[in-house]
Amino acid sequence: MGDRSSRNYWCVVLVLLTFVLESISGEDPYRFFTWNITYGDIYPLGVKQQGILINGQFPGPTIESVTNDNVIVNIINKLDEPFLMSWNGIQQRRNSWQDGVYGTNCPIPPGQNFTYILQFKDQIGSFFYFPSLAFHKAAGGFGGIKIFSRPMIPVPFPPPAGDFTILSGDWFIQNHTNLKASLDEGHGLPFPAGLLINGRASNVSSFTVDQGKTYRFRLSNVGLTTSINFRIQGHKMLLVEIEGTHTLQNTYDSLDIHLGQSYSVLVTADQPCQDYHIVVSTRFTSQVLTTTSILHYSNSTKNVTGPPLDGPNIDIEQNLTASGPRPNPQGSYHYGMVNITRTIKLANSAPIINGKKRYAVNSVSFTPADTPLKLADYYNISGVFILGSIPDNPVGGWNYLRTSVMAADFRGFAEVVFENSEDILQSWHIDGHFFFVVGMGRWQWSVSSRSSYNLRDAISRCTVQVYPRSWTAVYMPLDNVGMWNIRSENWARQYLGQQFYLRVYSAAHSWRDKYPIPKNALHCGQALGR
Ligand SMILES: *[C@@H]1O[C@H](CO)[C@@H](O)[C@H](O)[C@H]1NC(C)=O
Ligand SMILES: *[C@@H]1O[C@H](CO)[C@@H](O)[C@H](O)[C@H]1NC(C)=O
Ligand SMILES: *[C@@H]1O[C@H](CO)[C@@H](O)[C@H](O)[C@H]1NC(C)=O
Ligand SMILES: *[C@@H]1O[C@H](CO)[C@@H](O)[C@H](O)[C@H]1NC(C)=O
Ligand SMILES: *[C@@H]1O[C@H](CO)[C@@H](O)[C@H](O)[C@H]1NC(C)=O
Ligand SMILES: *[C@@H]1O[C@H](CO)[C@@H](O)[C@H](O)[C@H]1NC(C)=O
Ligand SMILES: *[C@@H]1O[C@H](CO)[C@@H](O)[C@H](O)[C@H]1NC(C)=O
Ligand SMILES: *[C@@H]1O[C@H](CO)[C@@H](O)[C@H](O)[C@H]1NC(C)=O
Ligand SMILES: *[C@@H]1O[C@H](CO)[C@@H](O)[C@H](O)[C@H]1NC(C)=O
């Protein structure tokens, strides 16, 4: 056999072998979870508070899974109010029925349950889940999600000796109903009372490592209002993953994690055998909150020494570049070659509407309707929302309340420019999609800003920061049919209207492009009895 025919032969063998292996392994594996959602006493800052627990735990259990796993989570709502769980960064391919936000799912009534049927299709990496309704996130109810690569898929670093999840973020002493009431009355939130690391405030939690070994830390900011900085005394961090993308591996002394973002770093226990501070502090706030945990070497007999090291100084100019972390070249995608079908510019604002503080995007402050938008869309119930009820561009003028839904065509390729003329650090999240962060810059974006875009090796992620009085541009394949929430990850802003829905539509009603309504879908509002 010549070269070419032998290659063809092996290709055929490989295809057959893959086919046989797939049929032996059958369907993708299933993982089942049953979660009781209850109130319970927690003491994150040393005083008793009422937290939202999952099977008695705060934070909730970590979901450990592998690419393509079917993850079945039965949520039993034992609170005295409606509840929904959402899955930050889980793509829900063609299946926004499982997204668990106001616009896609009816709330699970008190005393009832709902089973989410998720598939972590083609995903790897570090994400988290959180309660999406009311202001529940301020009471806990969140937890980590790990998606490991399938066994035969190469990972660009050796298996770590341990894999820790660190959920960190700001915490308030007021309970979630009081915080919500404050927002409902048109007031802002107070400054947070502290920062938590996995639900604890200081020196009480620790992570045990063996000297000489390397560990993965999955870091997420699950807080409500502030960016955080993460660092470990005396240790370097090798950044290896951002929200499902393996990165080219750069070393950091400290890392900024904005609201809703997730990172993985590798840390080698290569220092003298003792205990070290793990430090989290607020970033870009005038008053700096700090909390610590301990990196404990297994044979250490020496306590942590010295004060927790200071974080970086406030300086936003330095990080205004989209070509910071780069993706690992494996499987990169030529997003820079795809033609843009649409440019969407989204500007955040903080208006007073009807005498109350609200937050808006392109002058529209989102208000919920009586029926989830996804159900209204499915059953053709008119009057719940109007497509195009939010403009593609900032229009200026009055801000107003509306159940805002933007229409988009499936298989389009959008350039989205987030404009932030406010003096705050913004963080945007898009459900159901990943996007390439191609540019960031000061002041106003203009057409000429495109010349600074990174069209070669930008990172793909689902949550991106926009620095004060700056812009961030992303390229986003509209590759997921459904009703998708676009929101500020600042929870006061999200709650008071800085969010909307993107309805990605395909005229072909094919099952390849969208899932039918789940058999167990809850019905409410005008969809009741359908
Ligand atoms: C949930 O609560 C019920 C009692 O209300 C209990 O029987 C069950 O074991 C709990 N499930 C889990 C997973 O904790
Ligand atoms: C509630 O849980 C039961 C199993 O205990 C399940 O069969 C049922 O589908 C769940 N309800 C919903 C709406 O998912
Ligand atoms: C929050 O605190 C108020 C009193 O300040 C109390 O009435 C309310 O029940 C509490 N809510 C929760 C969920 O703990
Ligand atoms: C944590 O440990 C450090 C160093 O031992 C100490 O300075 C600090 O006061 C401790 N903090 C708390 C809240 O115990
Ligand atoms: C810890 O100490 C024991 C006894 O001194 C030793 O056998 C072991 O190798 C040490 N472990 C590590 C991880 O250094
Ligand atoms: C470390 O500190 C704790 C409390 O701060 C103390 O109980 C313990 O004895 C100390 N250990 C050593 C080895 O100094
Ligand atoms: C931000 O900029 C500083 C200073 O140039 C750098 O040390 C740090 O690593 C940057 N952080 C990120 C996430 O790029
Ligand atoms: C992009 O558009 C140009 C001009 O309209 C066309 O020549 C080119 O083939 C398009 N590229 C892709 C990848 O579709
Ligand atoms: C909604 O309207 C569309 C187009 O008019 C139709 O194809 C679809 O079957 C309708 N759905 C229901 C549930 O009636």
Per residue, what are the HEC states of 296-360?
A: EECCCCCCCCCCCCCCCCCCCHHHCCCCCCCECCCCCCCHHHCCCCEEEEEEEECCEECCEECCE
Does 399 score more than 80 pLDDT?
Answer: yes
* Mean pLDDT within 90-113: 96
Q: Are residues 186 and 131 in the same domain?
A: no
> What is the model's pLDDT at position 319?
52
Whether residue 240 contacts residue 156, with contact meaning beta carbons closer than 8 Å, is answered with yes
**Residue 242 sits in which domain range?**
162-297
Whether residue 224 contacts residue 490, with contact meaning beta carbons closer than 8 Å, is answered with yes
Pairwise pLDDT comparison (323 vs 152), residue with the higher score: 152
Residue 325 is assigned to a structural domain of this protein: no
- Number of structural domains the chain divides into: 3
Residue 382 in contact with ligand 9 by CB distance below 6 A: no
Mean of all residue pLDDT scores within the chain: 91
Residue 305 in contact with ligand 3 by CB distance below 6 A: no
DSSP run (H or E) holding 463: strand 463-466
Nearest CA-CA partner of 290 in 274, 303, 277, 275: 277
Q: Are residues 136 and 169 in the same domain?
A: no
Residue 223 is assigned to a structural domain of this protein: yes
Q: Are residues 110 and 250 in the same domain?
A: no
Q: Which atom of ligand 5 is nearest to the CA of 210?
A: 13
> What is the model's pLDDT at position 511?
61
Residue 318 is assigned to a structural domain of this protein: no
Q: Are residues 246 and 170 in the same domain?
A: yes
Please list, in sequence order, all residues whose beta carbon lies within 8 angstroms of the beta carbon of residue 147, skipping any fewer than 6 positions away: 65, 66, 67, 69, 120, 123, 124, 125, 126, 127, 244
Q: Which atom of ligand 3 is nearest to the CA of 39?
A: 13
Examine the fold and report which residue of 91, 119, 148 is the final residue of a domain before the chain moves on. 148
pTM: 0.91
Ligand 3 center to residue 58 CA distance, Å?
18
Q: Which atom of ligand 6 is nearest to the CA of 203?
A: 5
State the Cα angle at 313 between 312 and 319, rounded to 5°: 75
Q: Are residues 175 and 138 in the same domain?
A: no
Nearest CA to ligand 8 atom 10: 339
Query: What does the pLDDT look like over 173-223, one tens digit per residue?
Result: 999 999 999 999 999 999 999 999 999 987 678 999 999 999 999 999 999
Residue 520 in contact with ligand 2 by CB distance below 6 A: yes
Please list, in sequence order, all residues whose beta carbon lies within 8 angstroms of the beta carbon of residue 347, skipping any fewer than 6 positions away: 361, 362, 394, 419, 420, 421
Q: Are residues 261 and 136 in the same domain?
A: no
Examine the fold and report which residue of 148, 170, 201 is the final residue of a domain before the chain moves on. 148
Residue 14 pLDDT level (bands cut at 50, 70, 90): very low
Give the tokens for residue 396: 């200026």
Any idea what DSSP says for residue 58? S
Residue 50 in contact with ligand 3 by CB distance below 6 A: yes
Does 317 score more than 80 pLDDT?
Answer: no
Q: Are residues 56 and 98 in the same domain?
A: yes
* Mean pLDDT within 517-524: 96
* Ligand 1 neighbours (beta carbon < 6 A): 34, 36, 55
Q: Are residues 459 and 509 in the same domain?
A: yes
Q: How far apart are CA 475 and CA 505, in angstroms?
A: 18
Residue 113 is assigned to a structural domain of this protein: yes
> What is the model's pLDDT at position 18?
46
Q: Are residues 166 and 140 in the same domain?
A: no
Residue 409 is assigned to a structural domain of this protein: yes
First and final CA of the chain: distance in angstroms?
64
Encode 139-161: b = buried (16+ Cβ within 10 Å), e = exposed.
bbbbbbbbbbeeeeeeeeeeebe
Q: Which atom of ligand 7 is nearest to the CA of 250?
A: 9
Give the tokens for residue 114: 């709902």
Residue 285 pLDDT level (bands cut at 50, 70, 90): confident
Strand order in the sheet with 404-409: 386-387, 404-409, 499-505, 482-488, 426-430, 463-466
CATH code for position 55: 2.60.40.420
Q: Kindly identify the ligand whose nearest atom is closest to the C-alpha of 161.
A: 5
Please list, in sequence order, all residues whose beta carbon lies within 8 angstroms of the beta carbon of residue 83, skipping any fewer than 6 positions away: 37, 75, 77, 107, 108, 110, 131, 133, 136
Q: Are residues 398 and 518 in the same domain?
A: yes
Residue 284 pLDDT level (bands cut at 50, 70, 90): confident
Residue 308 is assigned to a structural domain of this protein: no
Ligand 8 center to residue 338 CA distance, Å?
8
Q: How far apart are CA 180 and CA 173, in angstroms?
A: 13
Ligand 7 center to residue 253 CA distance, Å?
9
**Residue the block writes with tokens 């598939």:** 119
Q: Kindly identify the ligand whose nearest atom is closest to the C-alpha of 274.
A: 6
* Mean pLDDT within 354-361: 96
Residue 505 in contact with ligand 9 by CB distance below 6 A: no
Q: Are residues 171 and 139 in the same domain?
A: no
Residue 20 pLDDT level (bands cut at 50, 70, 90): very low
Any idea what DSSP says for residue 181? H
Examine the fold and report which residue of 271, 297, 323 is the final residue of a domain before the chain moves on. 297
* Mean pLDDT within 420-437: 96
> What is the model's pLDDT at position 135?
97
Q: How far apart are CA 345 and CA 321, in angstroms?
A: 19
Nearest CA-CA partner of 202 in 292, 303, 281: 292
Residue 511 is assigned to a structural domain of this protein: yes
> What is the model's pLDDT at position 314?
52
Determine how many CB atoms are found less than 10 A away from the CB of residue 282: 24
Q: Are residues 179 and 79 in the same domain?
A: no
Nearest CA to ligand 8 atom 13: 338
Residue 205 in contact with ligand 4 by CB distance below 6 A: no
State the Cα angle at 171 between 170 and 175, rounded to 5°: 150
Residue 507 pLDDT level (bands cut at 50, 70, 90): confident
Pairing of strands 386-387, 364-366: unpaired
Determine how many CB atoms are found less than 10 A away from the CB of residue 248: 14
Q: How far apart are CA 464 and CA 484, in angstroms?
A: 16
Residue 285 is assigned to a structural domain of this protein: yes
